Amino acid sequence: MNRNLRIRPNILRMSGYVPGEQPKFADIVKLNTNENPYPPSPEVKKALAGFDYSRLDRYPDPVGQALRETIAKEHGVSPDQIILANGSDDTLTMVSRVFADETHGIAFPVPTYSLYKTLCELQNAPAFEVPSNADFEFPDDFEEKTAGASIAIIARPNSPTGNIYPRERMERLCRDFKGAVMIDEAYADFASDSCMELVKKYDNLIVSRTFSKSRALAGLRFGYAVSSPFIIEQMMKAKDSYNVSMLTQTLALAAFRDKAYLAETTSKIKEGRARLVKELRAMGFRTIPSETNFVFAAPPAGNGAEYFAFLRERAIVVRYFKAESTRSYVRITVGLPEEIGRLLDATRVFLKK
């Protein structure tokens, strides 16, 4: 190893974020990364077909003003309260650059989305990880245990567990936390409520959304955040100059406008979720109440790792998290009805072994 490279020691120490796999084998039932089983809105297809490729010789609008204005209107805020991003992961990167340094880190309950920890490692910032209880509820002592953090990041609904914390608890956090609060609403379209309205009341709150899950556009890479004009101004300084491509801005606008398609596909996924939960529970599984497009479920014997491996041998790929608090569970994305059927059939065979 070249000792003169001067790579930052925190980078050498870290292993980097590990995305869920994108397996290539044939006839696979892919239920491991919470993608949408339905295609994106047909309006996206039209916008793509109508896109004039010759425009790509110019840079895109660096802030995406047309899209910002449309999104702002929908949420009843002003355009300077919106920032566009190359997916939620990009929003999270901007936020970590703005708030996290060697002394003031990021606070979050665990288990949660593992990227939050990775961002701390990248910034060489302390991670304030507060364990949830066995039901994965929001920790009562969260504020007490995170006094040195400059930002709290809360996935609501949470992943990999699927549950949603009470909104009143989030409001208390916004009030009491000495710093900013980011609520990562990657799954909000599948949930019964959202914290978006609280942005108008708390100027330290950032709410982020993504088109990867409910809008079926994980491959496009688009998300946005809503906050106070002051926080958005700081995030603008921390973003990559042209972080959302011209094509992405065009397609995201088409998708955002098609509310009917969102409602239709989301409701089908919620039906699939209800069926999956009902059938798994009938087979003795423990499931966590889900407000997302996935179900966190533990087989009756608590042998999550074996169940994961059994499904995988049958080309059904779900996600397994080997940490102490999550090891008896697997996370199952709600797929098409026939995919749910195949998973349930394989599960019956697993339980008879």
Ligand X SMILES: *Cc1c(COP(=O)(O)O)cnc(C)c1O
Determine phi and psi for 35, rounding to 5 degrees. -75, 165
Of 113, 142, 190, 261, the one binding ligand X by CB under 6 A:
113
Tally of helices (H runs) and strands (E runs) in the chain: 12, 12
Cβ atoms of 245 and 110 closer than 8 Å: no
Of 88, 123, 250, 293, the one binding ligand X by CB under 6 A:
88
Minimum CB separation from ligand X for residue 90, in Å? 7
Tokens of 337: 């009805």
The closest of 147, 143, 169 to 158, measured between CA atoms, is: 169
Residue whose tokens read 């606008």: 253
Q: Which is nearer to ligand X, 88 or 194 (CB)?
A: 88
The SS3 of residue 3 is coil
How many residues make contact with ligand X (CB under 6 A)? 13
Cα 124–205–156 angle (5° rounding)? 80
Minimum CB separation from ligand X for residue 294, in Å? 9
Q: Which is nearer to ligand X, 153 or 346 (CB)?
A: 153
> Quick one: which segment of 6-14, 82-90, 234-242, 259-267 binds ligand X (CB under 6 A)?
82-90
Q: Tell which positions 184-223 bind ligand X, by CB under 6 A.
A: 184, 186, 210, 212, 218, 223
Q: Which is nearer to ligand X, 159 or 347 (CB)?
A: 159
Minimum CB separation from ligand X for residue 103, in Å? 26
> Quick one: which segment of 15-23, 42-50, 53-61, 85-93 binds ligand X (CB under 6 A)?
85-93
Minimum CB separation from ligand X for residue 223, in Å? 4
Minimum CB separation from ligand X for residue 45, in Å? 20
Q: Tell which positions 222-241 bind ligand X, by CB under 6 A.
A: 223
DSSP letters of 179-235?
A: SEEEEE-TTGGGSS--SGGGGGT-TTEEEEEESSSTTS-TTT--EEEE--HHHHHHH
d(CA 161, CA 136): 7
> Quick one: which segment of 20-28, 87-95, 120-128, 189-197 binds ligand X (CB under 6 A)?
87-95
DSSP 54: G
Q: Tell which positions 158-187 bind ligand X, by CB under 6 A.
A: 159, 184, 186
Minimum CB separation from ligand X for residue 210, in Å? 3
d(CA 3, CA 205): 43
The SS3 of residue 4 is coil
Query: Footprint of ligand X on this chain (CB under 6 A)?
Result: 34, 87-89, 113, 155, 159, 184, 186, 210, 212, 218, 223
